[in-house]
Amino acid sequence: MTVAAILAALLLLLAIGMPVGFAMAISGALGLYMQGGIDTLFGVLRTAPLSGVSHYELLTIPMFLLMAEMVLLSGIADELFKTAAAWLGRIPGGLGMATALAGAGFGAICGTSTASAATLASTSLPSMVRQGYEPKLAAGVVAISGTLAMLMPTSVALVIYGLIAEVNIGKLLISGIIPAILVTITILGTILLLVWQDPARAPAARRLPFREKLQMLWSVGPMLLLFTAVTGVIYTGVATPTEASAVGALGAFLLALARLKVTIPRLIVAVQRASYGSCMILAILIGANIFSYAFTLTHVAHDLVAWVGGLAVSRWIIITLILAGYILLGSFMDQMAILVLTVPIVLPVIKTLGFDPIWFGVIKIVTAEVGLITPPIGLNCFIVARYAHRPVTEVFRGTFPHFIAHLVAIALLVAFPELVLWLPSQMAQ
């Protein structure tokens, strides 16, 4: 009864458009009152609003958001694409591939996919269209390449999963690297296939002198340095992910300073955007905290685990159904909301089935990538449509081949968990 009331209240509040964090807190508060009375409710509301924001590890989220803002301020993304385009432009579909590589490179230092999509849309998309690329193909590549940021070691989404699932965040961030490479290869392969089907979709760009290409490589140097500063220190255990995120943010700030892009008003705007983003995420985490107290009292997660454990069905069928459910949810719900709403319930089931929580986190994030390009609310498609001045339906059609290719990538990651777990297993303890 209480569970039904909590879920009904949550769905109703979400349906009226209430911010996710507030909706979870209110429905959780209702559940606490129904399950434990007024004392339980007051007890949780006295502590959760502060304890939910006073963990040192939470600092990783604002620091990665700040790093992303500083990277955007530095304008390095433009040069990443230009460099990749100079080296790959002559290959059929080369500018599309350059976009995917710039997306991976940019994602490696800016872990938010919407920022990545917006940046790629304003830099690589006009170049591809000018080159005579089919707009549908160009827009699809940009939308999917933006999602790569979610798998990189600066991924805010992975940090949030790590905090909710209580897994080692350093290992989790590192575990995304090989899947990110796999997904990048998947995108490159899809572009090649599309161009092979119809070469007119993506004409080759003009040839650049070798000397010019070499010079352009210099611009990638600071990006590599920043990527190494963050990933290297996490991998070697020199610093915690929290410390690495702050060092990365400072590095990105110094990069923007060195490129003479920093003015006081622009800096304030950039830091404020990081502050608003952090506030939004922390509000969701506090709401999820209150909600999970209520859910714990109902013993639903425990009962669900017992029920799934008693099923005479292969665990591979169950994980396939869970992932299919995630892709379906991702087509109409925000990824952050999906993470905080489902992980506390689904993760105990995953553990009972004998799957690794770090592996599941990465797979979950790849399904989230798919959600970002799936109608009706695939956010990256809307961002690209806006920048490209194209109908959003066209962008969705352009991402469809990548949607199919991503399903193949997910199947590979599910079939071969070592792809996710090998790199973190090599880390210093």
Partner 1 sequence: MIVALDRGLSAIERPAAVLSAFVLFGMMLIVAVDVAMRYVFNDPFAWSHDVISLYLLPAVFYLALSRTFDIHGHIGVDILQYSLSDRWRRLCQIAIGLLGAGLFVLIAWLGFERTVEEYADGSAISGLIEWSTWISVAFVPLGSLLISVRLVIYALLHAIALIFDERIVELPPLAGSEESLLEAEA
Near partner 1 by CB under 8 A: residue from 6, 58, 187, 322: 58
Residue list 213-242, contact with partner 1 (CB under 8 A): 238-239, 242
**H-helix or E-strand spanning residue 88:** helix 76-88
153 binds partner 1 (CB under 8 A): no
Among 13, 151, 177, 322, binds partner 1 (CB under 8 A): 13
Contacts 24+ apart (CB under 8 A), 392-399: 394/135, 394/136, 394/139, 395/136, 395/139, 395/140, 395/143, 397/136, 397/140, 398/135, 398/136, 398/137, 398/138, 398/139, 398/140, 398/141, 398/143, 399/139, 399/140, 399/143, 399/144, 399/373
Per-residue binding string, partner 1, 99-138, x by CB under 8 A, is ---------------x---x--------------------
Cα Rg of the chain (Å, integer): 22
From the CB of 119, what's the least distance to partner 1, in Å? 12
Q: Is 184 helix (H, G, I), strand (E, B) or coil?
A: helix
Q: Which of 8, 37, 39, 55 binds partner 1 (CB under 8 A)?
A: 55
At position 174, the amino acid (one-letter code) is I
Residues in the chain: 429
User: 3-class SS at 94?
Assistant: helix
Closest by CA to 227, choosing from 78, 101, 109, is 109
Minimum Å gap between C-beta 226 and partner 1 is: 13
Q: Fill in the DSSP letter of residue 238.
A: S
Tokens of 151: 């798998």
From candidates 224, 303, 386, 404, binder to partner 1 by CB under 8 A? 386
Can residue 139 be called a binding residue for partner 1 (CB under 8 A)? Answer: no
* Residues 183 and 148 sit within 8 Å (Cβ to Cβ): yes
DSSP strand E in 109-161: where? none
Considering only residues 1, 4, 50, 313, which one is a binding residue for partner 1 as defined by CB under 8 A? Answer: 50
Q: Footprint of partner 1 on residues 327-366 (CB under 8 A)?
A: 332-334, 336-337
Residue 156 touches partner 1, criterion: CB under 8 A: no
Distance in Å, CB of 20 to partner 1, minimum: 6
Binding mask 271-290 for partner 1 (x = CB under 8 A): xx-xxxxxxx-xxx------
**Closest distance of CB 405 from partner 1, Å:** 23
Q: Does 257 bind partner 1 (CB under 8 A)?
A: no
Residues that bind partner 1 (CB under 8 A): 13-23, 25-26, 29, 42, 45-46, 49-50, 53-56, 58-59, 62-63, 66, 114, 118, 238-239, 242-243, 246-247, 249-250, 253, 268, 271-272, 274-280, 282-284, 332-334, 336-337, 376-377, 379, 381-383, 386, 392
